Amino acid sequence: MGSSLEYKVEPAFSHIPAADWAGLKSRLEAARDETLADVDLLTSGGAIPKTKQPLDSGFIMLPANLLDEQEAKGESSLLGQMKLAATNMKDSVDRFVVLGIGGSYMGMRALFEALCHPYHNELPRAERGDVPRLYFSGNNIDNDVTSGLLEVLTSASDYSQLANRWGMTVISKSGGTLETAVAFRLFREALEKCYGADSKEATNLVVPVTGETGKLRDLSNATGYPAIFPIPDGVGGRFSVFTAVGLFPAAVMGIDIDALLQGAADLTERFRTAPIGENPVLDYTGVCHLLEKNKGLTTRILSTWGGRLEAFGLWYDQLLAESIGKEEKGALPLTVVNTRDLHSRGQQHQEGVRDKLITNVIVETPSTSPLVVPKVAADRDQDQLNRLDGKALPELLDAAIKGTNKAYLEVERPTADLVFPKLDAYTLGQALQMFMLATVVEGRLIGINPYGQPGVEAYKQNMGEILYGK
Ligand code: PA5
């Protein structure tokens, strides 16, 4: 269907003795087998052993299953219903708000920043592909930022005009997350003020995405929102980008969700069948694991080149940190954006503590025509850029990547490359699925349950006690 993501282990691999790699192979394969066996365990309907709970392996076959269901049932499939609701939303509003936090927010932000126009919200609607502007909220409790967005949304006088109309999706698997729930109340009240409490818009322009049970599900059923999408049991928050959590808002924004899912499904197949050495999930996990265990590289830098993959990196930071940061184990993930951060973190990565593995994330071909650095008359060449001889920005970025990797190589700082042939829905679908699978395989490899996030409960409980006094 499209081009494949490639993980290039050199030169990081030269830091790994052959015996270490050979010794890891059977354990890596066992971790893959366990990851895949967990899919059957979840769907078998049998009891899940205590040591495996929670078990959220439902994300693994989800992309392929959704596409198969769509093939069989067309418009009545879940994807068909999501696309219909997305079309209704996009045709009805010019501003679309996504309320959610953590796994219920970061995947969509990654999709938006990577796949939509970098200045999407600034463009006139016709140049935005006839889709609304996008805003995120409910991912913090910041008074000023929340007020600012409400002000933008509610300042119009005529809500019959498409340019002034707005709607939202509220996303929470548990349905009880305070940040999102409070935002939903505030934005519901604002919506009712704009359209009238009994208006059709007060329900039609809200699409809840939530688990089968919980406070948000109860509220949604009681209110009678016409479209409510499920987050299935067995798919955890940070593994839910290929449920309605990511797919519904992505469809509203005109992102090709079939291509995303196809990328993820193809990557899963590669994970299932390709041998070590040709398997990006196993190769990436093996390199990270051995360099952490044997060389003390406990900081994993995801070094994204260019500006569109920062949110993808932040999504991965959350995925790795919440999944593996348990029982006093787990590497520290850190996303950087280069060349920007060469001017803020480059010094430390070149000469600081030797605890870092750098994975470059490189897009080979830009989606737009190369911007050539203009040549000027010799008497205006004080900046001496005529030396560039009409080179274009992709060539400069390539030189920066090569120059930085060479500098790291010279001081024996390990790097590896994750290469996107181009940045589109198909390759991003592969990358998202690759990192979700790699995170689970790593967990199984080191005996940590990658699913669940028990540690996050502590702050929630304390906050509840402070607020409600119990
Ligand atoms: O990965 C996770 O499960 C978390 O990051 C959740 O996504 C986050 O806490 C939000 O939870 P919820 O969707 O229940 O509101």
pLDDT band at 469 (very low <50, low <70, confident <90, very high): confident
pLDDT at 470 over 80: no
Q: Whose CA is nearest to atom 2 of ligand 1?
A: 237
Cα separation, 90 vs 251, whole angstroms: 9
Query: Tell me: the pLDDT tens digits for 181-216?
Result: 999 999 999 999 999 999 999 999 999 999 999 999
Please report the DSSP string for 258-287 in residue order. HHHHHHHHHHHHHHHHPPTTS-HHHHHHHH
Cis peptide before 421 (omega within 30 of 0): no
Measured from the Cβ of residue 100, the count of other Cβ atoms closer than 10 Å reads: 29
Cα separation, 445 vs 34, whole angstroms: 9
Judge if the beta carbon of residue 268 lies within 6 A of ligand 1: no
Q: What is the mean pLDDT of residues 91-120?
A: 98
Judge if the beta carbon of residue 102 lies within 6 A of ligand 1: yes
User: Which domains does the chain carry?
Assistant: 6-52+274-449 (3.40.50.10490), 59-255 (3.40.50.10490)
pLDDT value at residue 112: 98
Distance 105 CA to ligand 1 centre (A): 9
Query: Tell me: the pLDDT tens digits for 418-439?
Result: 999 999 999 999 999 999 999 9
Q: Which two tokens stand for residue 194?
A: 């704009």
Distance 360 CA to ligand 1 centre (A): 28
Distance, C-alpha 137 to centroid of its chain: 16
Q: Does 120 qualify as catalytic in the annotation?
A: no
The proportion of the chain whose per-residue pLDDT surpasses 70, expressed as a percent, equals: 100
Judge if the beta carbon of residue 338 lies within 6 A of ligand 1: no
pLDDT at 225 over 90: yes
| Catalytic residue selected from 328, 343, 410, 470 | 343
Q: Whose CA is nearest to atom 9 of ligand 1?
A: 102
pLDDT at 285 over 70: yes
pLDDT value at residue 407: 97
Judge if the beta carbon of residue 103 lies within 6 A of ligand 1: yes
Q: What is the mean pLDDT of residues 16-29?
A: 96
Distance 357 CA to ligand 1 centre (A): 28
Q: Which two tokens stand for residue 457?
A: 């409960």
Distance 101 CA to ligand 1 centre (A): 6
Q: Give the mean pLDDT of the chain.
A: 97
Judge if the beta carbon of residue 104 lies within 6 A of ligand 1: yes
pLDDT at 13 over 70: yes
Helix (H) or strand (E) holding 194: helix 178-195
Residues 6+ positions from 469 with CB-CB distance below 8 Å:
none
Distance 104 CA to ligand 1 centre (A): 6
Distance 239 CA to ligand 1 centre (A): 10
Query: Tell me: the pLDDT tens digits for 140-164?
Result: 999 999 999 999 999 999 999 999 9
Q: Where are the beta strands (DSSP E) in 42-122?
A: 95-99
Q: Which two tokens stand for residue 454?
A: 């028990």
Judge if the beta carbon of residue 180 lies within 6 A of ligand 1: yes
Q: What is the mean pLDDT of residues 42-49?
A: 92
Q: Does 343 qualify as catalytic in the annotation?
A: yes
Cα separation, 431 vs 127, whole angstroms: 28
pLDDT value at residue 1: 65
Q: Whose CA is nearest to atom 8 of ligand 1?
A: 102
Q: Whose CA is nearest to atom 12 of ligand 1?
A: 172
Q: What is the mean pLDDT of residues 230-248?
A: 97
Judge if the beta carbon of residue 101 lies within 6 A of ligand 1: yes
pTM beyond 0.85 = yes
- Alpha-carbon torsion (306, 101, 165, 90), positive or negative: positive
Q: What is the mean pLDDT of residues 217-225?
A: 98
Q: Does 201 qualify as catalytic in the annotation?
A: no
